[in-house]
């Protein structure tokens, strides 16, 4: 394992020409999903510290909060308008009743237009750099969704179109109407579902890939074990993979990351991110954090180059270890891969 001198690199998301920092920053946890929202001033400082360190790719969504995360990101990054890429998402029916145990989805073209207008105001920008459909809506043909975004691109309100957790059929159908710049889905050493069909499809079509939760929602950092407890409101309390039994069973994967990292004084998180970065040059992970030292730790992965043997050993060992527990409850799992 050897070090490289350059700290920040850039990558292009597929053949779209959208260039971003090789690691982005997932902003959801600053105000959504992990219990009490973080202090706004502190998160503003963290976002600006990320820019200072060369991060140019920031990920948010209207549903995070809801709405408050976009407001935070918009205010914090206002001084850097034109120098950073902000991605946000539409697709949830916020305030609408759940359906069959799943959150309501709403990707009707009229709703997409409404969401974009509201997001532009909260983000304090004139054009959204990358607009994802957050989840595929089975009640709205994906061609209609892509067509609506195409019109927004023509109107100058959106620059690039993306999908999140979409299946291969939806990706192809959407791409035929409006070229898809990026797919955002969960991908890491303990969530490798995209490898079989999705990644080859993205490579064929020239679409970039943005893995969210590349550190397994914190598990792959090595900072938790079976005895770890989560605060009220932390959505990991409801994830099967984060039950005490599953965390205990999955420690083998963390131990593997630790053993490989020990060879060059790298942390488990850095090894996990370096593995992802080595998979394809058009993959841009977006680890989230609310702490400056974790931001610096994650960015340190850019200076870590795993050898081919280490990459192969890591992947094969991870497959042998296996992963215990589904990543989502049934209702949320049904919303992925459509």
What would the pLDDT profile of 264-320 be if each residue is shown by its tens digit? 899 999 999 999 999 999 999 999 999 999 999 999 999 999 999 889 888 888 888
Q: Where do the structural domains in the chain lie, given as residue ranges? A: 2-333
Active site residues: 64
Question: pLDDT band for position 2 (50/70/90)?
Answer: very low
Instruction: Tell me the mean pLDDT in the region 199-224.
Output: 97
Residue 3: pLDDT above 50? Answer: no
At 158-173, the pLDDT tens digits run 999 999 999 999 999 9
Instruction: Tell me the mean pLDDT in the region 25-36.
Output: 97
The closest alpha carbon to 132, from 210, 65, 198, 204, belongs to 210
β-pair partners for 99: 102
At 89-135, the pLDDT tens digits run 999 999 999 988 889 999 999 999 999 999 999 999 999 999 999 99
Q: In a 10 Å sphere around its CB, with 0-12 CB exposed, 13-18 middle and 19+ buried, how is residue 190 labelled?
A: buried
Determine contact, residues 276/283, Cβ cutoff 8 Å: yes
- At residue 141, the 3 state secondary structure works out as coil
- Superfamily of 2-333 according to CATH: NADP-dependent oxidoreductase domain (3.20.20.100)
According to DSSP, residue 183 is labeled E
**CA 120 to CA 74: how far, in whole Å?**
9
Question: pLDDT band for position 7 (50/70/90)?
Answer: low
Residue 1: pLDDT above 70? Answer: no
The closest alpha carbon to 29, from 225, 301, 295, belongs to 295
Mean pLDDT of the chain: 95
Residue 145: pLDDT above 50? Answer: yes
């Amino acid at each position: 394992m050897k070090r490289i001198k350059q700290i920040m690199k850039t990558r292009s998301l597929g053949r779209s020409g959208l260039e971003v920092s090789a690691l982005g920053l997932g902003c959801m946890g600053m105000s959504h999903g992990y219990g009490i929202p973080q202090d706004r001033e502190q998160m503003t400082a963290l976002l600006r510290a990320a820019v200072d360190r060369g991060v140019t790719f920031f990920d948010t969504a209207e549903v995070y909060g809801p709405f408050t995360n976009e407001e935070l990101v918009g205010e914090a990054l206002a001084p850097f308008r034109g120098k950073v890429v902000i991605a946000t998402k539409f697709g949830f029916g916020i305030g609408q009743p759940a359906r069959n145990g799943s959150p309501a989805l709403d990707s009707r073209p009229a709703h997409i237009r409404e969401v974009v207008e509201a997001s532009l105001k909260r983000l304090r920008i004139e054009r959204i750099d990358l607009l994802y459909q957050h989840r595929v809506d089975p009640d709205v043909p994906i061609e209609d969704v892509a067509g609506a975004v195409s019109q927004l691109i023509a109107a100058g309100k959106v620059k690039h179109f993306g999908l999140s957790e979409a299946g291969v059929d939806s990706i192809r159908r959407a791409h035929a109407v409006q070229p898809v710049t990026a797919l955002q889905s969960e991908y890491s050493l303990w969530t490798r579902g995209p490898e079989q069909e999705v990644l080859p499809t993205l490579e064929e079509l020239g679409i970039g890939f943005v893995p969210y939760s590349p550190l397994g929602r914190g598990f792959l950092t090595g900072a938790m074990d079976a005895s770890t407890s989560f605060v009220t409101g932390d959505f990991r309390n409801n994830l099967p993979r984060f039950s005490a039994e599953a965390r205990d069973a999955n420690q083998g994967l963390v131990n593997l990351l630790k053993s490989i990292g020990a060879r060059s004084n790298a942390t488990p998180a850095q090894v996990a991110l370096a593995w992802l970065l080595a998979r394809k040059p058009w993959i841009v992970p977006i680890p989230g954090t609310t702490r400056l030292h974790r931001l610096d730790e994650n960015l340190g992965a850019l200076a870590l180059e795993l050898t081919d043997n280490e990459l192969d050993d890591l992947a094969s060992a991870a497959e042998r270890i296996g992963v215990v527990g589904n990543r989502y409850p049934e209702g949320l799992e049904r919303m992925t891969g459509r």
